[in-house]
Amino acid sequence: MLRLVNLTKSFGGVKAVDNVSVDFKPGRITSLIGPNGAGKTTLFNLISGFLKPDKGEILLEVEMWKMENRSERQEDRSKKQEARSKRREDRSEMLEVRGKELEAGSKGLEVRSKKMENRKWKIEARSTKQEDRSIEQIKIHQMKPFEIAQLGIGRLFQDVRVFKKLRSIDNVILGAEKLAGENPLEAVFLNHKVRKYERGIIEKAKEVLDFVELKDKTESYGEDLSYGQQKLLALARLLFGNYDVLLLDEPTAGVNPAMIDKILSIIKDMAKRMNKMVIVIEHNMNVVYKISDWVYFMNEGAITAFGLPDDVLGNEEVKRLYIGL
C-alpha cells in the first residue's frame, strides 16, 4: 500500500498539488488523468522524492529487510556520501553527463567484478528466504530519491531516457542501477575492451528483455530502436530493478497503435501477474478505459472525481474540463 495523506505542494502562488489523499494498492492499475498543469507530474515527483511536500505525508508499506539493507548500505557509504553530497544533489543530471562521456568512450567497458558482486548480492537479497518479511508503514516523504527507489518505487519518465550509444542489455543493467540511485558508471572502466558482468546479472537482463519482447534487440544500440521500443526498454529496466511500485508517466505517448497494445499488455502483466502497484499518467482515453482498475481525475492540484473508468470518463465535470465534450 502506498498512501498519500493531505499532500500539498505549491510553486510560488500556484498550488500544484492541493491536499491530495489517496491510497494505492498492489496488483491494481490506477490511472491519473487531467488537463495540462493539473499537478499529475508534480504528484509523481513528490512520490519519488524529487520534490518535498509543503504539507502532508507519503506512507509506504515496506518489508523490513529492505530497511535493513538500506541502513547497512548507508553506514558503509556515509563517509563517501558526505564528500559527494553536493554533487549528488543533482544526481540524475550528473549521471546523464557521465553517460554521455561513457557513450563517447564506449569502445567497450568493463565492470569491476567486486562491485558487481555487491550488486549480485543485492539482487539475491531480494529473493532469499530468511529475510524479514514483516511489513511496516514507513514515511518516505523526507527521503532522497535513491532511497525511495531502493524501497521499491520505480519510475518511467515522460521523456524516455535511454543511452543511445549503449546496447539494450547495457541500458537495462546500467539504467536500472541509475534509477535505483546508484552510480553505475563509477564501476565502469572505460579503457577496457570487453564488457564483463556477473553471469546472473546478464541472465536477468536477458530475461527482462525477453519479457518485453526485445530479445532480438539485446545487442542493438539505443539509437537503433524505435521510440516505442525505447519505451519497452525503459520498462525492461524497471523490471530489472524489481520495483514493487511503478510510476509510469505517459507510457504510450508518441507510440504507434500496435506498439501501444504491446506496452499495455506488459503493464497489465506487471500488475496482474507480478502483483505490482501501477500508477499511470495517461492522456489517451482508450488506454485509460482498457487498463485502469481505478481512475483519479485531477484539476488545479486537487482530485475532483474518482472511480471506475466508466464513471469518471462519463462524469460531466470531467467531460467539460478535460475531454472537451
Ligand X SMILES: Nc1ncnc2c1ncn2[C@@H]1O[C@H](COP(=O)(O)OP(=O)(O)O)[C@@H](O)[C@H]1O
By the criterion CB under 5 A, which residues form the site for Mg ion?
Answer: 41
Half-sphere exposure of residue 39: CA atoms within 13 angstroms, side-chain side: 25
Give backbone dihedrals phi and psi of 71, rounded to 5 degrees, phi first. -70, -35
Q: Is residue 230 at the binding interface for ligand X, with CB under 6 A as the rule?
A: no
Which triple of cell numbers denotes residue 136?
511496516
Q: Is residue 7 at the binding interface for ligand X, with CB under 6 A as the rule?
A: no
Residue type, 256: N
User: Residue 16 binds which entry of ligand X, Mg ion, none, with Cβ cut-offs from 5 to 8 Å by kind?
Assistant: ligand X
User: Residue 191 binds which entry of Mg ion, ligand X, none, with Cβ cut-offs from 5 to 8 Å by kind?
Assistant: none
Q: Is 7 left (phi over 0), alpha (psi -120 to 50) or beta?
A: beta
User: Residue 121 binds which entry of Mg ion, ligand X, none, with Cβ cut-offs from 5 to 8 Å by kind?
Assistant: none
Number of residues that bind ligand X (CB under 6 A): 11
Q: Is residue 52 at the binding interface for ligand X, with CB under 6 A as the rule?
A: no
Collapsed DSSP state (helix, strand, coil) of residue 243: coil
CB of 322 to ligand X, least distance (A): 11
- Cross-strand bridge partners of residue 255: none
CB of 36 to ligand X, least distance (A): 4
Give the one residue of 20, 31, 33, 40 binding ligand X; rule: CB under 6 A.
40
| Burial class (CB within 10 angstroms; exposed 0-12, middle 13-18, buried 19+) of 320 | exposed
| Burial class (CB within 10 angstroms; exposed 0-12, middle 13-18, buried 19+) of 183 | middle
Nearer to Mg ion, 65 or 157 (CB): 157
Q: What is the DSSP letter of 223?
A: G
Nearer to ligand X, 42 or 315 (CB): 42
Nearer to ligand X, 38 or 303 (CB): 38
CB of 9 to ligand X, least distance (A): 8
Q: Is residue 11 at the binding interface for ligand X, with CB under 6 A as the rule?
A: yes
Collapsed DSSP state (helix, strand, coil) of residue 90: coil
Give the one residue of 13, 36, 71, 130 binding ligand X; rule: CB under 6 A.
36
Radius of gyration of the chain (CA): 20
CB of 108 to ligand X, least distance (A): 39
Collapsed DSSP state (helix, strand, coil) of residue 2: strand
Q: Is residue 37 at the binding interface for ligand X, with CB under 6 A as the rule?
A: yes
Nearer to ligand X, 106 or 292 (CB): 292
Nearer to Mg ion, 37 or 56 (CB): 37
Nearer to Mg ion, 41 or 299 (CB): 41
- Cross-strand bridge partners of residue 57: 5
Q: Is residue 14 at the binding interface for ligand X, with CB under 6 A as the rule?
A: yes
Q: Is residue 266 at the binding interface for ligand X, with CB under 6 A as the rule?
A: no
- Core vs surface per residue 98-117: b (16+ CB within 10 A) or e: bbeebeeebeebbbeeeebe
Describe the strand order of the beta sheet including 14-24 as a list of residue ranges: 14-24, 2-11, 55-63, 135-139
Residue nearest to Mg ion (CB): 41
CB of 41 to Mg ion, least distance (A): 3
Give backbone dihedrals phi and psi of 269, rounded to 5 degrees, phi first. -60, -40
User: Which residues lie near ligand X (CB under 6 A)?
Assistant: 11, 14, 16, 34, 36-42
